[in-house]
């Protein structure tokens, strides 16, 4: 191709490909380092996305840097769009880096004489070693939060005899796991009724599951458990019992938001506020951007959350299918 036909856009395009692809490959490595053990313990979708993005960026970068002569390129607009899309995808890869579980959640992932803990690429299951209650708990994690982060909060339910399932969401987004409960609810004996719950965005998806299976004759949703969360729309006609546990200093699911959610929940919903608690206290995954400043210890908040949850689950189980 005649060098005179080369435009400034061709030169800029080549350098843009070099820079963006190189930074993209480095960003994937950085994201992998930050993700750490979650590459193994998280849903495989993020690992696949990370590897695919790195390989693509590495190939493009090598080809771009090996190109010594700027050539006139066709389809300039299409290439520009692909470049913008690529930047957006790489930004998403970095944004999707999950918050990994920390102690005491990691310690709670160990099986013991009371509870057997099993983990697969798509879920974590806490199974009581003794008599298993007919009431099970299916709990959706918050956005981009390690499913293991809820182990210390939910294992006490299994110690009390309730089977607990925590799905691992694709890319850590609850809305990508909306079918998880429907797929799993028939797989666990002797559970005949379920309490669905979740933290933050996970609670919003749990509310959708509660509405979808509220009147099922087979393995119905008996109750809804919300941690620092509220439904996306009107759920006031739910027959299921509802417990909403929130923190008074939550900077994300704020007290005002929780109060506003009362109109979207059944009139007999139980609301428990953890005085001095924040959003990140509903799991063990470290501080969270945008959250409030707690005035109580995480251990104290966790104890209160567990006590409220255990009392609620026990009451639902004792009453049979709550209606």
Ordered per-residue pLDDT tens for the chain, 323 residues: 444 466 776 788 788 889 999 999 999 999 999 999 999 999 999 999 999 999 999 999 999 899 877 766 665 566 677 788 888 888 999 999 999 999 999 999 999 999 999 999 999 999 999 999 999 999 999 999 999 999 999 999 999 999 999 999 999 999 999 999 999 999 998 999 999 999 999 999 999 999 999 888 888 999 999 999 999 999 999 999 999 999 999 999 999 999 999 999 999 999 999 999 999 999 999 999 999 999 999 999 999 999 999 999 999 999 874 44
| Contact by Cβ (8 Å): 172, 200 | no
105-318 carries CATH number 3.40.50.1820: yes
Helices (H) and strands (E) in the chain, counts: 10, 8
Tokens, residue 290: 């945008």
CA distance 54 to 37: 18
Bridge partners, residue 117, by sequence: 126
What are the tens digits of pLDDT across the range 234-247? 999 999 999 999 99
Q: Are strands 135-140 and 221-227 parallel, antiparallel or unpaired?
A: unpaired
**Distance (Å, rounded) from C-alpha 112 to C-alpha 193?**
26
Q: What pLDDT digit, counting tens, does each position of 210-263 carry? A: 999 988 888 899 999 999 999 999 999 999 999 999 999 999 999 999 999 999
């Amino acid at each position: 191709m005649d060098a005179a036909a080369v435009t400034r856009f061709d030169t800029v395009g080549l350098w843009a490909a070099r820079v963006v692809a190189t930074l993209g490959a480095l960003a994937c490595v950085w994201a992998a380092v930050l993700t750490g053990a979650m590459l193994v313990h998280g849903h495989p979708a993020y690992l696949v996305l990370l590897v695919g993005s790195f390989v693509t960026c590495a190939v493009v970068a090598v080809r771009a840097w090996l190109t010594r002569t700027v050539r006139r390129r066709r389809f300039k607009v299409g290439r520009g769009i692909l470049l913008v899309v690529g930047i957006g995808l790489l930004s998403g890869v970095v944004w999707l880096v999950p918050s990994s579980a920390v102690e005491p959640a990691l310690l709670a992932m160990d099986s013991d004489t009371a509870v057997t803990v099993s983990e697969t690429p798509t879920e974590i299951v806490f199974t009581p070693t003794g008599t298993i209650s007919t009431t099970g708990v299916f709990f959706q994690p918050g956005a981009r939060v390690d499913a293991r982060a809820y182990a210390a909060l939910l294992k006490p339910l299994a110690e009390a005899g309730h089977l607990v399932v925590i799905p691992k969401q694709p890319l850590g987004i609850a809305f990508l796991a909306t079918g998880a409960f429907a797929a799993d609810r028939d797989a666990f004996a002797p559970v005949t009724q379920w309490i669905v719950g979740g933290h933050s965005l996970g609670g919003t998806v749990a509310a959708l599951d509660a509405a979808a299976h509220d009147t099922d004759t087979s393995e119905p949703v008996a109750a809804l458990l919300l941690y620092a969360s509220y439904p996306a729309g009107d759920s006031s006609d739910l027959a299921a019992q509802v417990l909403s546990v929130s923190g008074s200093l939550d900077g994300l699911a704020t007290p005002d938001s929780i109060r506003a959610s009362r109109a979207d929940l059944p009139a007999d919903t139980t609301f428990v506020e953890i005085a001095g608690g924040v959003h990140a206290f509903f799991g063990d995954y470290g501080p969270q951007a945008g959250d409030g400043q707690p005035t109580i210890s995480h251990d104290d908040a966790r104890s209160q959350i567990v006590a409220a949850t255990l009392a609620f689950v026990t009451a639902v189980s004792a009453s049979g299918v709550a209606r």
